[in-house]
Structure 1
């Protein structure tokens, strides 16, 4: 029990440090964490197909801007130093979780067919 508490505290601290480092990297290019999700994964592809058009347009524009900034070897802070970024905003991730839960439930309900 005590070992689990210590492990949870260490992992929480490490996760927070990783989030800070990742947030700094994302803010250089103006990306969100969700923009890093691989579009070829089935759940992500389905969630993107169900997403609002504003979400898709924003994602596409952020990715294009990041590619352009990377090509120019610049940072977003060079062009827009006071820009407010929501690095860890969740727009499609709740849909991905629902799709995964649905697929898991479907697999459990049809587990008898595998025998």
Structure 2
């Protein structure tokens, strides 16, 4: 999507990936078969916070991606720039990797 200048689609897909991972963490932590469709920041923060690492930056990033992906259209005077999209994609990938590693580590314990 990025290579075809489909920046809005990139944001939506990043948001979906983050939301799916957070729901997976919720299901794992609370042994819930039916997690809420959308989690609030009050529910997300304890899921991403650990004893060694504050989850606030991850929770804020997830909230930012939710907001960006929900905007209908960006104002014409503020187009999305490729560098900004690349940074958002990179940070999304880092967070997804970190959360996946946490789940794997928890499962192996």
TM-score, reference length from structure 2: 0.47
Larger Rg: 1
TM-score, reference length from structure 1: 0.45
